[in-house]
Amino acid sequence: MSSLFDFDAKPDPYAVMGNPISHSQSPLIHTEFASQTQQRLNYSAIQVDAGGFEQAVGNFRASGGKGLNITVPFKQEAWEFVDERSERAIQAGAVNTISFNDNGQSVGDNTDGVGLVRDLMENHAIELAGKRILILGAGGAVRGILGPMLAQQPSEIVIANRTAEKAVALANEFNRGDQLQGCGFPSIDELPFDLIINGTAASLQGELPSIPATAISSGTCCYDMMYGKAPTLFMTWAAKHDAPKVLDGLGMLVEQAAESFFIWRAVRPDTREVIASVKAAL
């Protein structure tokens, strides 16, 4: 690892790989983390074509690369590719962070779930212990957050998905009895939830998961794992039904990045000012 004071050393190379990648905020985030913590590194965005993942990672490592973030659509491929996986990566079934150790081995981790939990608890002071939580969606994004969410001991998590069987199968896989259940949208019960998290890709298609407005009460926080310049459809729906707290996933993005940065550099950056600059850059 080179420090700010090794003037002769090349900055350590890091990158995010995905497709598409041109709109990734990760280079901005990690560059800000690096200057804030005085770490000498260079973080770039690499677009990888389908079928080219292994080759791209091999080239990056051969050129001295120290670590990678992996985003859509390569998180599962990264999981299969790495030599070792953290417990979080095993649970998530996906890898978003790769480190290359001195023996040339690659270690895969997943920081998405911890990023969400930190954004909720530390940035927004939302308690999860003992809470009733509704998670919409049962794809890779939701699988990635379940372990860290369950670790906070909520009283109940209901996973609701357009395709009910996928929600039921995902809940069964984590095997938490009554604490974790899966169902289709029409089977969501009418009692309000403390927290509703949208982990579906519905907003990308301009659609809203069809969930009952009774899920929201005067104490419900609504959180969309997506983010953008404008509020998502889910956020607009939540505000229309008077949810007192409506949040997007920008904080999760920066927090998962901070955890990756910590894995690579053993330094924890301050995320608040970086969240503000990413928001301004959208």
**Contact between 163 and ligand ATR per CB under 6 A:** yes
Which stretch in 43-51, 120-128, 200-208, 241-249 sits in contact with ligand ATR by CB under 6 A? 200-208
- Are the C-beta atoms of 76 and 70 separated by less than 8 Å? no
Smallest separation, CB 167 to ligand ATR (Å): 8
Q: Which helix (H) or strand (E) element contains residue 239?
A: helix 233-240
Please, which residue, 182 or 269, has the CB nearer to ligand ATR? 182
**Contact between 202 and ligand ATR per CB under 6 A:** yes
Smallest separation, CB 157 to ligand ATR (Å): 15
The token pair that represents 144 in the structure block: 């990635």
Smallest separation, CB 152 to ligand ATR (Å): 21
Which stretch in 121-129, 136-144, 236-244, 269-277 sits in contact with ligand ATR by CB under 6 A? 136-144
- What dihedral do alpha carbons 161, 166, 170, 172 form, nearest 10°? 110
**Contact between 93 and ligand ATR per CB under 6 A:** no
9, 123, 139, 279 from 254: Cα distances, Å: 28, 11, 21, 10
Residues involved in catalysis: 75
Smallest separation, CB 234 to ligand ATR (Å): 10
Q: Cβ-count burial of 175 within 10 angstroms (0-12 exposed, 13-18 middle, 19+ buried)?
A: exposed
Please, which residue, 28 or 201, has the CB nearer to ligand ATR? 201
- 13, 93, 139, 231: which one contacts ligand ATR (CB under 6 A)? 139
**Contact between 61 and ligand ATR per CB under 6 A:** no
Smallest separation, CB 35 to ligand ATR (Å): 31
Smallest separation, CB 137 to ligand ATR (Å): 4
**Contact between 166 and ligand ATR per CB under 6 A:** yes
Q: Cβ-count burial of 152 within 10 angstroms (0-12 exposed, 13-18 middle, 19+ buried)?
A: middle
- Are the C-beta atoms of 26 and 259 separated by less than 8 Å? no
- 107, 114, 120, 141: which one contacts ligand ATR (CB under 6 A)? 141
d(CA 244, CA 165): 32
d(CA 6, CA 143): 41
**Contact between 27 and ligand ATR per CB under 6 A:** no
**Contact between 35 and ligand ATR per CB under 6 A:** no
Matching residue, tokens 């927290």: 195
Q: Which helix (H) or strand (E) element contains residue 14?
A: strand 12-18
Whole-number CA gyration radius for the chain: 19
**Contact between 209 and ligand ATR per CB under 6 A:** yes
**Contact between 106 and ligand ATR per CB under 6 A:** no
Note the residues at the interface with ligand ATR (CB under 6 A). Answer: 137-141, 161-163, 166, 200-202, 205, 207, 209
